Amino acid sequence: SGKILENQVVLVTGSSSGIGAGIAVGMGKAGAKVVVNYRSSPEGAQKVVDEIKSQGGEAIAIQGDISKEEDVQKMFSQLCEHFGTIDILINNAGLQQDANLVDMTLAQWQKVIDVNLTGQFLCTREAVKEFMRRGLVEERSRAAGKIIFISSVHEVIPWAGHSNYAASKGGIKLFMQSIAQEVARHRIRVNGIAPGAIKTPINEDAWDTPEDEAELLKLIPYKRIGVPEDVAKVAVWLASDDSDYVHGETIFVDGGMTLYPAFAEGQG
């Protein structure tokens, strides 16, 4: 049918909800065979699989905690058994454990680093090994594999009360760039997406009342809170050959949140 990701296999981590679910559905629409990874919600994952199938796509759900090495290795062997190989990895799973510095427990610090940063490392390593083992398949893509890191505007915007999260996202930025430099010679393409405020379960508190929503919109020059589909469309493009010369780049999908909105009225 000539869809942009026809016959390519994509793994989207943490895709039983939110941005990951949106990306999984978008990838399915673009013709990819989708692996919906989830940690604790088989029902959520099944809904995403069903939605992809109802649009004529192919998808399976695979359980796995991305912060655990054995789980990640098992997930990759299961997906290779089912679909043969992998072409695209979307490192999406992530979480917050908010606390002010002096109240932050080591467990809160460690949990966020383990999932948001170490989890992306573990999945990236397994994907790159498979890309290198299989090599380039020119009928499918101009790249031998593609990796997209979902970081956050907090890879550049400091965030009081969320220092563990900001540290994990800042870490993703340089991990992504270092891997991009390292694996480019294997024709593996590596990029990031930094979302701003997207309506998902992770930040419901920030938009679930009109007052909260108005407060949040002050930070968004474009005056609209994003939806998972906004991120999904960019992810599909970044995973496709249409972006074949884009490498080691982070695309901000944030309605201008990184434009220092406090200066929008030109004071001073």
Pick between residue 80 and residue 202 the one whose CB is nearest to ligand NAD: 202
- Does position 240 bind ligand NAD by CB under 6 A? no
Site for ligand NAD in 115-154 (CB under 6 A): 115, 119, 150, 152
Q: How far is CA 255 from CA 197, 198, 259, in A?
A: 8, 10, 9
Q: Which of 170, 171, 195, 255 binds ligand NAD (CB under 6 A)?
A: 195
- Does position 202 bind ligand NAD by CB under 6 A? yes
- Does position 191 bind ligand NAD by CB under 6 A? no
Pick between residue 141 and residue 169 the one whose CB is nearest to ligand NAD: 169
What are the tokens at 266?
């030109």
d(CA 30, CA 22) in angstroms, rounded, equals 12
Q: How far is CA 236 from CA 10, 114, 198, 208, 262, in A?
A: 10, 27, 17, 28, 32
Closest to 35 measured CA to CA, from 67, 4, 64, 6: 64
- Does position 164 bind ligand NAD by CB under 6 A? no
Q: Which of 8, 67, 124, 177 binds ligand NAD (CB under 6 A)?
A: 67
Size of the site for ligand NAD (CB under 6 A): 27
d(CA 81, CA 49) in angstroms, rounded, equals 18
Give yes or no: 222 in active site. no
Catalytic residue among 38, 165, 245, 260: 165
Identify the three-state secondary structure at position 112.
helix
Site for ligand NAD in 18-37 (CB under 6 A): 18-20, 37
Binding segment for ligand NAD among 4-12, 87-95, 102-110, 125-133 (CB under 6 A)? Answer: 87-95
**Ordered alpha helix ranges (H), the chain:** 18-29, 42-54, 69-83, 106-112, 119-134, 163-183, 210-217, 228-239
Distance of CA 56 to the CA centre of its chain: 23
Binding segment for ligand NAD among 48-56, 81-89, 128-136, 197-205 (CB under 6 A)? Answer: 197-205
Question: If you ran DSSP here, which 8-state letter would residue 209 be given?
Answer: S
What does the binding site for ligand NAD look like in residue numbers (CB under 6 A)? Answer: 13-14, 16-20, 37, 39, 65-67, 92-95, 115, 119, 150, 152, 195, 197-198, 200-203
